[in-house]
Amino acid sequence: MTYKNFTVETDEDGIALVTWDMPDKSMNVFTEEVMDELDAIVDQVAGDDAIKGAVLTSGKKDSFSGGADITMLKRMFDILQNEKAKDPQKATEMLFENAGRMSQLFRKLETCGKPWVSAINGTCMGGAFEVSLACHGRVAADSPAVKLALPEVKIGIFPGAGGTQRVPRLTNQQDALQMMTQGSNLKPSRAKAMGLIDEVVAPKKLIDAAKKMIRNGLDPVQPWDKKGFKLPGGAIYSAAGGNLWPAASAILRRETNMNYPGAAAILKCVYEGLQVPFDTGLKIEQRYFTQVLQTTEAGSMIRSLFVSLQELNKGARRPEGVKPTKFRKIGVLGAGFMGAGIAYVTAKAGIPVVLLDRDMESAEKGKKHSEDLVSKAMQKGRASEDDKQKLLSLITPTADYADLDGCDLIVEAVFEDSEVKKSATEQAEAVLKPSAVFASNTSTIPITGLAKNSKRPKNFIGIHFFSPVDKMMLVEIILGKRTGDKALAVAIDYVRAIRKTPIVVNDTRGFYVNRCVIRYMNEAHNMLIEGVPPAMIENAAKMAGMPVGPLALNDETAIDLSQKIMKQTIRDIGEKAVDPRHMELVNTMVDKHGRLGRKNGKGFYDYPAKPAKKHLWPDLKTLYPQQDADSIDFEELKQRLLVAIALEAARVMEEGIVTDPREADVGSILAFGFAPYTGGTLSYIDGMGVSNFVDLANRLRRKYGAQFKVPKLLKQMAENGETFYTRFDPYATMDQAA
């Protein structure tokens, strides 16, 4: 038989090598077609007496499979939504059957009577790792390319193709729960130590080692299918289980605040599934998977953190008809912390970069930042000496603008001052080729104004990185009024080349992300002024799903920077643009108490020397009369913080600053961690229902002030029964074109 996505070759020993190699795809993924073909291959192996066993491997270099296909998941949710409107019961039944398809296929493979071995040559995620767990043996290449994980919890669901049942039957329950609830990557050595991998061998010996397992008489019956099977580490109702499960439940609550149904379902599946026969455990898993798939959290997270994220990473907003850019040389102006970080991620992507500053000493210091980052990576085993030397060889420090000659792109990251930026722009453009694009990394100054310093405003654009550059995955690309398609295409090509996620925003003060972040911190300032205990503010934010409390975030960004931004805003727009109470609070912190934030070791928090941990400044609660904590509605505190941010995101959409809801959602999660379980700022509104959100915002406005004023856009959407993804449908133009 011949297959589109697989080849099957049987050697003289009767071992079938099943090679998964999807045409026209850089990575193998599970689709309906792939599952149909694998189903037929299982039948072929089981029904052919000449075949003694099978090895499943990948034909892709350094990649086994990334798991489920993006379009398959999207289509499943579309069908669910369409059928739910007609017949909710039927929709649930359809979802239940679809949810069990992959699990049933893998169960068929492991009970077919012939031994299967998974030969893992690279990235093996989600369903790909689950099919490997269903195989009777697993061999992984000893290579940095091999990453094993069940990361489904990160997109709102959980391993629903047998993962919650096989992992805790192969390893102890504590390690199994930790692996699945965190969705963390495992190296081959760690997976072997856990019992999830049988052998780790040199890449060239991978297939031979897998075949050898079959030749040596690999048992085609899984341990859990044999009489007398005992769980590694003990049963649920045992001394070990008695120590584990109460703690596991408490840790889940502490780490997730019960905002993630998928994470809670993992514990339920494991706890219930390990007390019954394996097939019953699979049925339990299938039921919970169907339940979780129907939650608002799962739908929103899958859309934003799986579907939309991949689409943006593939250049969804890139203008059509512009030739892709192959970068030969990039210039970075300014070798401070931001500029040095930009140079590092550029060189790490294999692109030569010229790092320019006012003198060679400053430029060399900027290059040293890259050396330090690579050295830290080497200490963690993530880089070699060769990697270090290769990266450093790509960075050329200089103080001479003439060295920028030949650059395809310039990223300006000099001091946040219009005159300094004007000088840098003019000197760089004097030596640039006509086709080169000039980008400013400004975080506060409108791009259209900076473009006036350029002789080629069509080639002038904003590329706003977040700090620290090497860790933050989002980049805002800002369009000036005269920015052309070519500049946008080049900017997106660059962001993709350095493996970050681009979102495109139109020009405004603070762009998109900073406008939302400022609202978050401002609402915390309001709470402080009202006398809400500081610890309640921070805890409310974390329990609402934010990774960092607003006071801690203000410390990270620097309180004196907040002061400068407020003063500049007053100069530019007028006194009414800034709440005088906020100005007074920040002035008190900076001018009276010298508390600038983390950078000087004291802000809203104190930062003692390690190993001591940061803690809230004890005197913070003395700045304003304190309310009785018992009289404060804690749930309302959580709502205030999220609603304040979401309202600003809605205003940004209303003003046309952001035009694609995918970018608003993904940007809010990647940039400042807006409660990921909501799917992002706009999905938070859509998930609640626009009408319900408007009612909530109106209640908060009556109680707390004009910051909760509902924009006209939301009122119209509530009246029309719209959502952001229907009113601003990112797929509408694609559907029309098709």
Amino acid type, 111:
T
HSE-CB for 130 with a 13 A CA cutoff: 26
**CA atoms of 548 and 426, how far apart (whole Å):** 40
HSE-CB for 649 with a 13 A CA cutoff: 28
Within 8 A by CB and 6+ apart from 281, the residues are 164, 165, 269, 272, 273, 274
| Dihedral, CA of residue 685, residue 688, residue 690 and residue 694, to nearest 10 | -90
Task: Work out the burial of residue 86: count CB atoms within 10 Å of its CB; fewer than 13 is exposed, 13-18 middle, 19 or more buried.
Answer: exposed
Bridge partners of 465?
475
Asked if residues 248 and 268 have their Cβ atoms less than 8 Å apart, the reply is no
Question: If you ran DSSP here, which 8-state letter would residue 451 be given?
Answer: H
Burial pattern 261-285, b for ≥16 Cβ within 10 A else e, equals: bbbbbbbbbbbbbbeeebeebbbbb
For 448-592, strand residue ranges (E) read 460-465, 474-479, 501-506
DSSP 3-state of 536 = helix
Catalytic residues: 464
CB 18 within 8 A of CB 54: yes
What is the rounded distance in angstroms from the CA atom of residue 103 to the CA atom of residue 305? Answer: 23
- Per the listing, tokens 């320019």 go with 356
| Largest pairwise CA distance in the chain | 85
35: closest CA among 27, 46, 43?
43
> Which residues are CB-neighbours of 207 under 8 A, at least 6 positions away?
17, 55, 57, 119
Integer Cα distance of 30 and 299 in angstroms = 19
